[in-house]
């Protein structure tokens, strides 16, 4: 008995000693009201003010080299502290595979006679969409270098061996950094960030790998929460409230919750702790928005649970639709085909990847906390903005086929309530891609177009206009979108095909009126000019548009004012970049305006079926078009086409909104004025310009500004030698908004 007591005392002293020598560098810390950090013995305690004047607290220590969140707590102004968690250990699981160039990218490169050199493959593989690095062995013919091998996939839980921490004040935030984080091929630091005026605590690994061709995903959370008296609450995909009291068995793996809005909440001691991933940057591009379950719990024992955010290992196809066997089979095959597309994140060698999860501390109950967290995404709705209409583009819903299969126009497609609930006013669809008969030049296609037009007309309403667009891949190269200001009957074939002999460019047919037939780039451009249409490159520099529009920059159709530019989609996702689609999309926007401005980027979805239980908001970027009202279908949508051609719109993920942004002044002395609102703590604004050759920018740090703020920018700049200018604002979660370039 005496020996056991001695051994127990020795172990206790050793544990205390391991936690006593906390070495934190506070040289970059500056105390300020509502944002404090101080060492208390072996603990670093950080306190900050929340959104509604709550006081929030997070305390950190190191035990045997392992950083520990010693406690999380919240209180209302002047009230008692409510414990939300104690002795919590951060956890990260990294799963990596090999990034491969897709065959869909290879095809246009081969058509352009571009040799697949190692340099070309290295450049283009990072824009792969059709890649599923975790799917072994892979579908033959989809990617270079198949089959995949099981040993390519590495799954490892991170370890930390920290000797101390560094505390830094960065504007209205405090960052706490622990060195010694590593997870297999990745190595870096563990970082926590708190923001004055926000209840958010951001936990992230900031790490890099030097290996080539790495694609990866991550799981991140905290473990060690006590289940005693705690309840996990969330809304299911039908928005019904669910709860779990941890009375079940111990879990081996994280239990992914298909929670609405990517959000779950732990209620305990009268307070609550929400956990969630970043609202957009966390999601890599897919064909569908099926809710795969992005938050998790794991019961490790009767006294310990873990909570966090995760990306699952695979896609789950959407629910097939169709009345006839043929339509059901086609839809089923297409939904299962999505298993070939689960691309993960890019990790180019040497790039610092930021793998984040958010915790939201609150002294209130779960339902109040849910409402407060959802304010960051306006309840997953694109907030109405006076003088603007919310527009989305590029959706393959196969409307003609489904209506024909139903045998009635009077049905409600599953995607229609999705658009309505998101607050969308204008939607450009894209039938005749993998559906119907896009290459037919006669009655088959024309009758299908008639159903398509009538379906869009039938489902349009006072606050939602469905616009029948099309994504050809005929004679301009790559894939592109046609938009006309009214329903228009036309056919197109790709060279060298010419269609039926003697078929004229235009003809007048009963039931259809004027019908156009195009068979080369020249008469496709003629069609656009005659009917005041617009065209833009869909998914430029990737997928079936790899190499485009770069190779078209000197072509007459690209130089025409009918060629709007390219489309914007968060593809690929590289968590080292502070902006969405930083290189492929925004880089192209700047390039196009140097080639032949003004050219613009239009946000697109490029997805297939949607259902109300999907998680569509985080995987969609939209356009706010400057229009006073939604046009009625029978009026046509000329105002929409004109606004797009004039660049009178901005692109946003939804959390950042731009009001009345414009250049003022004449001559060399100009001012860029913009009124901007945001929800997440902001990161930076930027004014980007070019002299027609070199792109430059002015970065304005916004780390001093609070979340849920509206700010007026007045940015003076010298216009001498500048050809164009554009403006953007990005927040700390990677969300943002940008204007189209303005000529100077």
For residue 330, the model assigns a pLDDT of: 87
Tens of pLDDT, residues 388-431: 999 999 999 999 999 999 999 999 999 999 999 999 999 999 99
Which residue, among 447, 416, 434, 427, has the nearest Cα to 625 in the 3D structure?
427
Which residue shows structure tokens 């709705």? 381
Rg for the chain, CA atoms, rounded: 27
Residue whose token pair is 């400057």: 626
Residue 18 has pLDDT above 50, yes or no: no
* Sole residue written with tokens 């997070």: 58
In a domain, 476, yes or no: yes
Binned at pLDDT 50, 70 and 90, residue 495 comes out as low
Q: pLDDT for 129-142, tens place per residue? A: 999 999 999 999 99
> What per-residue confidence (pLDDT) applies to 11?
37
Distance between CA atoms of 432 and 445, rounded to whole angstroms? 9
Residue 501 pLDDT level (bands cut at 50, 70, 90): low
Residues 557 and 585 in one domain: yes
In a domain, 123, yes or no: no
- What are the tens digits of pLDDT across the range 543-583? 999 999 999 999 999 999 999 999 999 999 999 999 999 99
Query: Is the pLDDT assigned to residue 177 strictly greater than 70?
Result: yes
Is the predicted pLDDT of residue 528 greater than 80, yes or no?
Answer: yes
3-state secondary structure of 89: strand
Residues 205 and 286 in one domain: yes
Check whether residue 75 and residue 57 sit in a common domain. yes
Do 637 and 661 fall into the same domain? no
Q: How far apart are CA 621 and CA 261, in angstroms?
A: 16
**688 falls within a domain:** yes
- Mean pLDDT, rounded, of the chain: 94
Q: Clarify whether residues 184 and 311 are in a common domain.
A: yes
Residue-wise pLDDT for 446-487, tens only, equals 999 999 999 999 999 999 999 999 999 999 999 999 999 999
681 and 597 belong to one structural domain:
no
Do 259 and 369 lie in one domain? The reply is yes
Domain membership of residue 65 (yes or no) is yes
Structural contact between residues 299 and 305, judged by C-beta atoms closer than 8 angstroms: yes
Residue 103 lies in a domain: no
Cis check: omega of the bond before 573, within 30 degrees of 0: no
The span from the CA of 37 to the CA of 487, in Å, is 62
Residue 21's pLDDT is: 65
pLDDT for res 498? 57
The string of DSSP letters for 264-326 reads EEEEETTEEEEEE--TTTT----S-------EEEEEEETTEEEEEEE--SS--PPPP--SSHH
| C-alpha to C-alpha distance for 446 and 63, rounded to whole angstroms | 72
> Domain check: are 583 and 672 in the same one?
no
Band of residue 363 on the pLDDT scale cut at 50, 70, 90 = very high
Residue 444 lies in a domain: yes
Instruction: Look at 71-75, 437-441, 692-696 and tell me which has the smallest mean pLDDT.
Output: 437-441
- The total number of structural domains in the chain stands at 3
Cβ atoms of residues 319 and 335 within 8 Å? yes
pLDDT over 50 (residue 13): no
Widest Cα–Cα separation across the chain: 106
> Pick from 68, 16, 87: which is nearest to 304 by CA?
87
Residues 492 and 609 in one domain: yes
- pLDDT computed for residue 17 by the predictor: 39
Tell me the C-alpha distance between 82 and 189, whole Å: 30
Q: What is the DSSP letter of 370?
A: H
For the stretch 660-689, pLDDT in tens is 899 999 999 999 999 999 999 999 999 999
For residue 673, what are the domain limits?
655-744
Of 97, 99, 100, 102, nearest to 130 by C-alpha is: 102
Q: Provide the CATH number for the domain around residue 234.
A: 2.70.98
Q: Could you count the other beta carbons within 10 Å of the beta carbon of residue 339?
A: 15
- Among candidate residues 632, 654, 676, the one where a domain is terminated: 654
Rounded average pLDDT over 699-711: 98
Task: Write down the residue that tokens 């061996």 correspond to.
Answer: 161
What is the predicted pLDDT for the residue at 500?
A: 60
The CATH number for 408's domain is: 3.20.20
- Residue 395 CB partners (closer than 8 Å, separation 6+): 415, 427, 428, 429, 430, 605, 606, 607, 608, 610
Task: Give the 3-state DSSP-derived string for 419-483, with helices as H, strands as E and coil as C.
Answer: HHHHCCCEEEEEECCCCCCCCCCCHHHHHHHHHHHHHHHHHCECCEEEEEEECCCCCCCCCEEEE
Residue 366: closest CA among 283, 227, 272, 294:
272
pLDDT digits (tens, 9 = 90+) for 252-272: 999 999 999 999 999 999 999
Q: Which residues pair with 73 in a beta bridge?
A: 57, 83
- The pLDDT confidence band at residue 1, using thresholds 50, 70 and 90, is very low
pLDDT in tens, 577-617: 999 999 999 999 999 999 998 999 999 999 999 999 999 99
The C-alpha angle 730, 736, 738, rounded to 5 degrees, equals 100
Answer yes or no: is pLDDT of 52 > 70.
yes
Spatial distance between the Cα atoms of 666 and 671, rounded to a whole number of angstroms: 9
Which pLDDT score, from 0 to 100, does residue 499 have?
Answer: 57
Residue 2, SS3 per DSSP: helix
Q: Which of 605, 625, 654 corresponds to the end of one domain? A: 654
Distances 88 to 59, 84, 183, 223, 672 between C-alpha atoms, Å: 10, 11, 19, 5, 47
Q: Say how far apart CA 446 and CA 187 lie, in whole Å.
A: 58
Distance (Å, whole) CA 53 – CA 75: 9
Six-digit token pair at 696?
């430059």
Asked which of 619, 654, 689 is the last residue of a domain, the reply is 654
Task: Tokens for 410, please give them.
Answer: 């009077």
Distance CA 265, CA 28 (A): 34
Can you list the positions of beta strands (E) in 110-172?
A: 154-157, 159-160, 165-169
Here the tokens at position 694 are: 């070199």
| C-alpha span between 539 and 568 (Å, rounded) | 7
Q: Any alpha helices (H) in 67-184, and if so which ranges?
A: 103-111, 118-124
- Give the angle 41-46-51 at the CA atoms, nearest 5°: 160
Residues 6+ apart with CB under 8 A from 78: none
Looking at the structure, do residues 185 and 314 belong to the same domain, yes or no? yes
Whether 649 and 666 map to the same domain: the answer is: no
Q: Is residue 107 part of a domain?
A: no
Q: How far apart are CA 448 and CA 450, in angstroms?
A: 5
CATH code: domain of residue 699:
2.60.40.10
Q: Taking a C-beta distance cutoff of 8 angstroms, is the pair 624, 383 a contact? A: no
Q: Identify whether residues 522 and 450 lie together within a single domain.
A: yes
* Residue 737, domain member (yes or no): yes
Q: Is the peptide bond before 47 cis (omega within 30 degrees of 0)?
A: no
pLDDT tens, position by position, 203-247: 999 999 999 999 999 999 999 999 999 999 999 999 999 999 999
């Amino acid at each position: 008995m005496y020996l056991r007591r001695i051994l127990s005392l020795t172990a206790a002293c050793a544990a205390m000693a391991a936690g006593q020598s906390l070495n934190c560098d506070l040289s970059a810390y500056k105390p300020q009201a509502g944002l404090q950090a101080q060492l208390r013995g072996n603990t670093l305690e950080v306190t900050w003010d929340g959104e509604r004047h709550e006081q929030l607290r997070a305390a950190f220590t190191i035990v045997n080299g392992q950083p520990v969140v010693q406690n999380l707590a919240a209180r209302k102004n002047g009230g008692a502290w409510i414990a939300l968690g104690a002795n919590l250990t951060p956890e990260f699981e990294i799963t990596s595979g090999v990034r491969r160039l897709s065959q869909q990218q290879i095809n246009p490169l081969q058509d352009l006679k571009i040799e697949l050199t190692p340099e070309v493959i290295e450049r283009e593989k990072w824009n792969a969409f059709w890649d599923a690095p975790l799917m072994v062995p892979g579908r033959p013919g989809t990617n270079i270098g198949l089959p995949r091998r099981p040993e390519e996939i590495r799954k490892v839980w991170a370890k930390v061996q920290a000797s101390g921490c560094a505390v830094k004040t960065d504007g209205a935030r405090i960052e706490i950094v622990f060195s010694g984080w590593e997870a297999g091929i990745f190595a870096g630091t563990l970082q926590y960030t708190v923001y004055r005026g926000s209840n958010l605590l951001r936990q992230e690994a900031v790490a890099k790998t030097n290996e080539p061709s790495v694609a990866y995903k991550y799981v991140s959370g905290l473990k060690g929460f006590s289940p005693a008296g705690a309840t996990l609450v969330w809304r299911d995909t039908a928005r019904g409230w669910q709860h779990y009291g941890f009375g079940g068995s111990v879990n081996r793996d994280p239990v992914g919750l298909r929670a609405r809005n990517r959000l779950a909440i732990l209620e305990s001691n009268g307070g609550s702790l929400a956990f969630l991933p970043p609202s957009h940057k966390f999601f890599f591009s897919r064909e569908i928005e099926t809710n795969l379950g992005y938050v998790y719990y794991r019961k490790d024992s009767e006294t310990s649970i873990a909570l966090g955010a995760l990306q699952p290992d695979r896609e789950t196809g959407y629910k097939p639709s169709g009345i006839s066997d043929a339509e059901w089979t086609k839809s089923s095959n297409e939904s299962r085909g999505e298993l070939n597309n689960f691309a993960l994140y890019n990790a180019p060698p040497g790039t610092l990847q930021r793998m984040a999860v958010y915790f939201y501390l609150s002294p209130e109950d779960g339902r109040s906390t849910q409402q407060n967290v959802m304010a960051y995404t306006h309840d997953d709705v694109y907030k109405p903005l006076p003088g603007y209409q919310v527009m989305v583009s590029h959706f393959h819903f196969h409307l003609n086929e489904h209506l024909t299969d139903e045998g009635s126009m009077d049905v409600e497609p599953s995607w229609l309530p999705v658009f309505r609930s998101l607050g969308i006013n204008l939607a450009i669809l894209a039938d005749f891609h993998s559906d119907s008969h896009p290459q037919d030049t006669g009655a088959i296609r024309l009758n299908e177009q008639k159903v398509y037009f009538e379906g869009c007309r039938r489902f349009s309403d006072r606050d939602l206009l469905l616009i029948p667009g099309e994504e050809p891949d005929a004679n301009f190269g790559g894939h592109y979108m046609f938009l006309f200001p009214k329903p228009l009957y036309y056919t197109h074939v790709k060279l060298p095909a010419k269609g039926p002999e003697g078929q004229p460019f235009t003809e007048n047919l009963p039931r259809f009126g004027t019908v156009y037939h195009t068979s080369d780039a020249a008469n496709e451009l003629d069609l656009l000019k005659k009917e005041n249409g617009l065209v833009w490159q869909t998914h430029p520099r990737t997928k079936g548009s790899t190499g485009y529009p770069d190779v078209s920059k000197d072509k007459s159709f690209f130089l025409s004012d009918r060629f709007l530019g390219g489309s914007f989609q968060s593809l690929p996702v590289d968590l080292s970049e502070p902006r969405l689609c930083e290189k492929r999309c925004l880089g192209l926007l700047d390039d196009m305006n140097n080639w032949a401005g003004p050219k613009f980027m239009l946000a697109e979805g490029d997805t297939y079926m949607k259902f109300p239980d999907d998680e569509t908001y985080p995987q969609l970027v939209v356009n706010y078009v400057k229009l006073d009202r939604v046009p009625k279908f029978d009026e046509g949508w000329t105002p929409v086409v004109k606004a797009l051609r004039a660049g009178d719109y901005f692109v946003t993920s939804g959390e950042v909104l731009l009001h009345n942004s414009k250049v003022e002044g004449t001559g060399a002395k100009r001012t860029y004025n913009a009124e901007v609102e945001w929800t997440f703590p902001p990161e930076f604004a930027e004014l980007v310009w070019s002299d027609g050759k070199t792109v430059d920018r002015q970065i304005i740090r916004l780390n001093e500004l609070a979340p849920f703020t509206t700010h007026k920018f007045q940015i003076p700049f010298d216009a001498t030698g500048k050809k164009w200018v554009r403006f953007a604002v990005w927040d700390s979660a990677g969300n943002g908004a940008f204007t189209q370039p303005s000529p100077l």
